[in-house]
Amino acid sequence: MRTQRIDYLKHKFGYNNKNLLLKWVLTIFFFGLAFKLVFFHPLSQEISPVVLEHVAQNEDQLSHTNTGEGKCDYLRGDWVPNPSGPLYTNESCSFIQPYQNCLKNGRPDREFLYWKWAPRDCDLPPFDAHKFLNAMRNKTWAVIGDSISRNHVQSLLCMLSTAAQPIVVYHDELNKSQRWHFSSYNFTLSVIWSPFLVEAVTFEDLNGEPTSEVELYLDKVDSKWKDHYLNFDYIIISCGKWFLRSAIYYENGIIQGCHSCPKRNLTELEFTFAYRKAIKSVLNFIVSSDHKGSIFYRTFTPDHFENGEWSSGGTCKRTEPAKEGEMEIKYLNMMLREIELEEVGKAVDEASRNGVNLKLVDLVPLSLLRPDGHPGPYREFQPFANKDQNAKVQNDCLHWCLPGPIDSWNDILLEMILKGHMIN
Ligand SMILES: *[C@@H]1O[C@H](CO)[C@@H](O)[C@H](O)[C@H]1NC(C)=O
Ligand SMILES: *[C@@H]1O[C@H](CO)[C@@H](O)[C@H](O)[C@H]1NC(C)=O
Ligand SMILES: *[C@@H]1O[C@H](CO)[C@@H](O)[C@H](O)[C@H]1NC(C)=O
Ligand SMILES: *[C@@H]1O[C@H](CO)[C@@H](O)[C@H](O)[C@H]1NC(C)=O
Ligand SMILES: *[C@@H]1O[C@H](CO)[C@@H](O)[C@H](O)[C@H]1NC(C)=O
């Protein structure tokens, strides 16, 4: 199967089979990984042996999570060639923000556009914007979270705008939260900026660089989304990497400790402490609310920085998807996902007892297989103009190019909704 796919691509794009080299590189990479994690990983000081052991035990869960419903698991599948390519382009969609407009910014390769997600046990038809909008007449959606949520909403807007153009009916000062209305369908789509999902006070300079620790109120759900919660028919909620920031943690208005704050005379706590507490608060609120719509808790998305991280020269140069098992999930990402799977797993059962429609959408395994889908250096327009191709420029291996793999998230969500995984 895989061989066929490679042949297909070779035929289509005429590149050489780099498999042997790749295998060799990967072997070295995996050998190096254990060593690197223990000795060089910037987070290794923060990871206790107990957590490491726990993560190792759960590693085999990564391939997929069970829906436990006896229905098709849309999240268990493969990336397969898709000769027809994406539904939209950088020319046809005006919602792509510059940092993710990889084609416009000069990304030279195109293979990453010609793949689609194919569940193993069922069909996943291509996204049909008319079908989506018809199913969503008079409905409102809210996508709540950080910049990945915005990335996701822009992908959805691009796909929907193949059928109808929305108008902006609300935006905050920096357009971090926005709302669009598709008038011919009376469909409303909101993106709500709430990177911690709980109340947070952040301190940043004009470039968005932190100037002081975040003040994080772990037991207070962010009123930005909480206050409008019952108005949304469909909610996709998630969080992630912001929890790695230096922060002071509050509960009941009292400081519990802080993370990565050597200058403060406070108890140092791991970010996983805050991640779990915040998610618990959010889920408690969801589970005990009177919400009659559908709530999808989306797991965070893993990054694909290699040979460094965001701030230490990491890059993502791959141009095709990885095979299952080929990409090692980083410890950090593994830990975030573990916490989410545990806490959301518990909450889903409790929610159903309360008549609340909560579902876990674990996109980590399928996202992990797309190291080729990030802007890399092409987060900026023509990053190598007047420089040589090996010049050091900031890479983005966390957000996704549009069009790109994240478009498949919408294929999956639409099908899950239409097939009654979530009955509204
Ligand atoms: C779209 O991308 C192409 C390069 O693939 C570029 O030439 C063109 O200017 C871009 N157009 C827009 C509107 O971004
Ligand atoms: C949408 O709302 C309008 C006005 O309330 C109503 O006439 C129409 O039947 C609704 N359509 C659907 C599909 O619910
Ligand atoms: C649009 O949908 C909202 C619910 O989201 C409903 O209250 C309103 O009546 C609908 N308007 C029309 C014109 O159908
Ligand atoms: C925010 O979005 C609006 C509407 O799309 C646009 O007119 C405005 O320039 C944007 N503002 C910023 C700061 O990007
Ligand atoms: C740090 O806090 C402890 C306990 O509150 C206190 O005894 C100590 O004096 C503090 N140290 C400094 C340098 O403020």
User: What residue has token string 């990983």?
Assistant: 41
Query: In this predicted structure, what is the pLDDT of residue 70?
Result: 52
The CA-to-CA distance between both ends of the chain, in Å, stands at: 38
What is the distance between the alpha carbons of residues 359 and 308, in angstroms, rounded to a whole number?
34
Report the predicted TM-score, pTM, of the whole model to 2 decimal places. Answer: 0.85
Atom of ligand 1 lying closest to residue 89 CA: 1
How far away, in angstroms, is 347 Cα from ligand 3 center? 31
Residue 262 is classified by DSSP as: T
Residue 186 near ligand 3, beta carbon < 6 Å: yes
Tokens standing for 294? 């559908």
Q: Which amino acid is at 377?
A: P
Q: How far is CA 252 from the centre of its chain?
A: 30
Atom of ligand 2 lying closest to residue 186 CA: 1
- Burial of 209 by CB count in 10 Å (0-12 exposed, 13-18 middle, 19+ buried)? exposed
Contact present, 188 and 141 (Cβ < 8 Å): yes
Phi first, then psi: give them for residue 326, nearest 5 degrees.
-80, -35
CA-closest candidate to residue 80, choices 1, 147, 25, 154? 1
**Numbers of helices and strands, H then E, in the chain:** 11, 13
How far away, in angstroms, is 121 Cα from ligand 2 center? 35
What is the distance between the alpha carbons of residues 59 and 208, in angstroms, rounded to a whole number?
35
Q: Which residues contact 161 (CB under 8 A, 6 or more apart)?
A: 88, 92, 93, 94, 95, 129
Torsion (CA) 372, 271, 332, 343 in degrees, nearest 10: -90
> CA–CA distance from 18 to each of 118, 168, 362 (Å)?
24, 46, 31
**3-class secondary-structure state, position 236:** strand
> CA–CA distance from 405 to each of 146, 201, 278, 374, 412 (Å)?
18, 32, 28, 9, 12
* Nearest residue (CA) to ligand 3, atom 4: 138
Element (H, E) at 210: strand 210-221
Ligand 4 first shell, C-beta below 6 A = 168, 171, 174-175
Radius of gyration, CA atoms only, the chain: 21
Q: Which amino acid is at 230?
A: L
* Span 274-323, pLDDT tens digits: 999 999 999 999 999 999 999 999 999 999 999 999 999 999 999 999 98
Atom of ligand 1 lying closest to residue 91 CA: 13
Element (H, E) at 132: helix 129-135
Query: In this predicted structure, what is the pLDDT of residue 206?
Result: 82
Residue 306 is classified by DSSP as: B
All residue ranges of the chain with pLDDT < 70 are 1-70, 421-424
Residue 140 near ligand 3, beta carbon < 6 Å: yes
How far away, in angstroms, is 186 Cα from ligand 3 center? 6
Contact present, 232 and 142 (Cβ < 8 Å): yes
Query: In this predicted structure, what is the pLDDT of residue 326?
Result: 86
What is the distance between the alpha carbons of residues 424 and 417, in angstroms, rounded to a whole number?
9
* Nearest residue (CA) to ligand 2, atom 2: 138
